Structures are given as structure tokens and as C-alpha cells.
Structure 1
Amino acid sequence: MNNDLYLNLDNPVWHSLTSTHSPYALGGDFVKRYPVDMLRILGCKTPLTADLEQIELWVVPGENFFVVGELPALPKNWVLHSKLECVQMICSKLNTLDTKNVADIEPLTEDHRSDMLELIGLVQPGYFFHNTPLLGNYFGIIKNNKLVAMAGERLKMTGFTEISAVVTHPDHTGQGYAQNLVAHVSKKNIEQNAVPFLHFVNNNVRARRVYELLGYTERKTINFWLIEFKGQKLSE
């Protein structure tokens, strides 16, 4: 793969919304967002010089968004709430897993939608919405007719797929489910010539260990900025 393409991972939302996920993109030539029921996230072509007023026709007051990477200057009617320092990892070659205790992994379909929302709402609320599953393929482990672990694909761009929604029900941790699911989704993407990448909060030592065992390597630290559109122009 052309090494220049890896630079697109510095601004992954924009490059997803202008390539593989362009059918979902809302906005203009320089700032775009996903539909509100899909992802609360937006991207800018050139973040450091972007004008967020250009996306205001496609947002409503009170909406929160994550910006991944460099943060644009915020107009006075936008507010910064928080910054998450995350690690971005990539995997070009997957390590072989011990398959003795690998649980059965099933594709998740529309029939599993409510179970997916319930599980991720319990473990990782605020990042997954009704139509998030349309972004890619999702897989799960089902025990006694109950979804207990899942993982899938979120941001997608030419040559790269983000592995996301890696969650396990608290009653079923320690079984290797997350590792098996991430390996499954990663293998599928590598076979399709897409480099898998992922993000996790930088103090999540357990996640780092799992991903490193699979062959993921750290590419960079990248920030997730949570911002809010307030609506009316705020006074000077």
C-alpha cells in the first residue's frame, strides 16, 4: 500500500465520508457529518482552517459531536466539552490465535439490532445508535439466546477499516470473546486488502494487551474532541 495513504488515518472521519462512506455524508465541500442516527461525529477537510459555520445547516442546537484528530477553531456558538486522548493502532499482519476455546461467532443482522443496542448501551453508552450497524459488518457471540459479546466495523475509507464496538457483557468477561471477535473482523478485512485500525482510550491497559497479542501496533496518539453546537450566535 502507498505509505501516503496511511496519512489519511490522521483525519479518518473526513476520509471515510469522502470515500467508502460518502453515501452517508451530510454537509458541504469542507465540513461533513454522519446522520444523527448513525454516528455523532464530523470531519473537516483541513481541520486547522475549517469553518464549522459551514455545517450549521445540517445540525440542530444542542447536538454533540466528536471530532477526531486536529480540532478546528470553534465559533462562539460552539462549545468544547471534553478531550479523550486515544491510541490509534493498525494491523497489517494478524497473529495466529490458539483456537481450542474459540466460541462460535455469528454475523449480526437486523434481527439482532435491539440486542446490539442493549449490550453496547450497557457497556459503552453514547457511541452506538440505531443505524450504526449500517456502517459495516458486525459479529457476535450468543449464549443461551443472549448476545454476550460483539465487534464490528465503523469508519471505512479506501484501504482501511476501523474495528469498533468491541464489547462484552460484564457477566461474560475473561473468556477471550473480545480477542476472538477482533481477530475475526480483522482477518476478514486483511483478506479483502483493507488494513484494520482501531482506537481506545490511552489508559486502557487491558485493551492494549489484547490488541498487541493480535499483532496490532501503535501508530499514534489521537484526540477525540467532544463539541456541542449551541445554535444561536453567542454574544461577544
Structure 2
Amino acid sequence: MEPLDRPVWSSLTGLHAGLALGDALAKRYRPEINRFASARDDGAVALAALARLVLPAQPVFVLQVPEIRIPSGLVASKLAKGVQMVATGRITPEAGPDELIPLGDADAEEMLALATLTEPGPFLRETHRMGRFVGIRIDGRLAAMAGERFRFPGSTEVSGVCTHPDFRGRGLARRLSRHVAAGIAARGDTAFLHAWKTNAAAIRLYESLGFRLRCEVNVAVLDAIPG
């Protein structure tokens, strides 16, 4: 199976192994980092190991190309379809009037607040530790940001792309996405990303940047069954 078919597993067993909890059968990100988890495969033993990683009131997200099988002891509170897109050709940075600044620990609370407001995907206080993040400040406020999420040899995901409602319509998401994708390419990796299948506007934006559809992906939010 291609690493991109199970990007969460590929990341947790690769460049993000230091951020993982679990064993050789199933892994998840540490709760302060992110909510994604993955079994090694869809066999009963691996799925049972995945179920053991899910704590009450702490749901996990599963994202993969194969159809998702729900382990015994868990229930799906959400099932949805997404798309996986991969950069083709050369993506170059785009100039703009606002300075792009690196984001890190000192910006964590503002990043979390922006992500909580705009919901670009699961984002916690230490999600920024998954990769490089950049942002744009306008009048001292964090107006927009984008960064990296899943990472494994040869591939890095563009993620966390969001703009505060007060600053939409200025092309900030486009500029930040281009910048992150160009940085990924500059170090020799291929950029990829995910979007909800129903998010036509986001898909059009990424197509305009040079991303092309690779496949559909399955997404599930899994909760432990009480009791």
C-alpha cells in the first residue's frame, strides 16, 4: 500500500514517531498534539489495538483511503468523504503587501483561537509542533496562518490553512498555502493536502495552485462507547 493511502500511519511511524503513542499495531498522536490515530491495517488485531488507544470523551480522527472499519467498542460520531490532492509541477511563493512571519510556541494561544474559530481541521494547543507554520499579522492580530501536518519521507502535508473572518477576501489563504507548498518543494518533498469533498471553493483554490486530485479519502471520528 502507498504511504499516502494511510498518511496518519505513515507519519506516526516515520518523522512523527516522537509524537506518537501506541505500538506496532496502532498509534495515535499524543493528546496535546492532535486527535488523529491509525491502525496498521484493517485486521481484527490491529483494530482492537486502535480501540485501546481511544479514551472516554477523547474521540480520535481516522483518515485513510481504504474503507474504515469501526473497531468493537467504538462508535462513529461522524463519517465523511474527503479528497487527497498532490502538488504537480513547481509551486513558487507569491508576493504580497503583508509580511509572512514564522509561528511557534509564543503564538500557540492565538493559533489555537484562530483555528477554533475557523475550523480548518483538528487543531490543539501544540499542533504547531507537527511542522513549520507561518502567519500574517494585520494591526497586531493573527489574520491568517498555514503550516504542515502529516510528514513522512518524500511527502509533507499542507494543513491548518485558515483566515479570520475579518480579513477574508484578501487572498491570504492562497498566499500562505503557496508559501508552505513552495517550502516543502524546496527541501525535496512533494506537498499534498486534504479537503472535504463538499468544499468546492477550497478544491478550486488548490487546483489553481497546481494541486491535482489523487483520490477520495474516508474520514471517521471515533468515540469510546460509554460503560
TM over 0.5: yes
**SS state of the match for residue 94, structure 1?**
coil
Specify every segment of 5 or more residues in structure 2 that has no aligned partner in the other structure, as ranges. Answer: none
Specify every segment of 5 or more residues in structure 1 that has no aligned partner in the other structure, as ranges. Answer: none
Q: Distance in 2 between matches of 1:98 and 1:19?
A: 31
Residues 179-206 of structure 1 deviation map (CA, whole Å, 9 limit, x = unaligned): 1000000001101111111011112111
**SS state of the match for residue 114, structure 2?**
helix
**SS state of the match for residue 206, structure 2?**
helix
Alignment check: 8 A CA contact 1:92 1:190 kept:
no
Matches within 5 A, 1:216-227: 216-227=211-222
Tell me the equivalent position of 2:107.
Answer: 112
Tell me the equivalent position of 1:155.
Answer: 150
Matches within 5 A, 1:34-183: 34-69=29-64, 70=66, 71-75=68-72, 77-96=73-92, 99=95, 101-124=96-119, 127-183=122-178
Moved more, 46-55 or 32-41: 46-55
Q: Does 1:16 align with 2:11?
A: yes
Tell me the equivalent position of 2:194.
Answer: 199
**SS state of the match for residue 144, structure 2?**
strand
Residues 166-188 of structure 1 deviation map (CA, whole Å, 9 limit, x = unaligned): 00011111111001000000001
What amino acid does structure 1 have at the position aligned with 2:71?
L
Give the number of aligned pairs. Answer: 225
User: How big is the shift at 1:9?
Assistant: 0.5
Larger radius of gyration: 1
User: How big is the shift at 1:228?
Assistant: 0.6
Percent pairwise identity = 32
User: How big is the shift at 1:125?
Assistant: 7.1
Alignment check: 8 A CA contact 2:102 2:133 kept:
yes
**SS state of the match for residue 11, structure 2?**
helix
Backbone CA RMSD of aligned residues = 1.8
What amino acid does structure 1 have at the position aligned with 2:134?
F
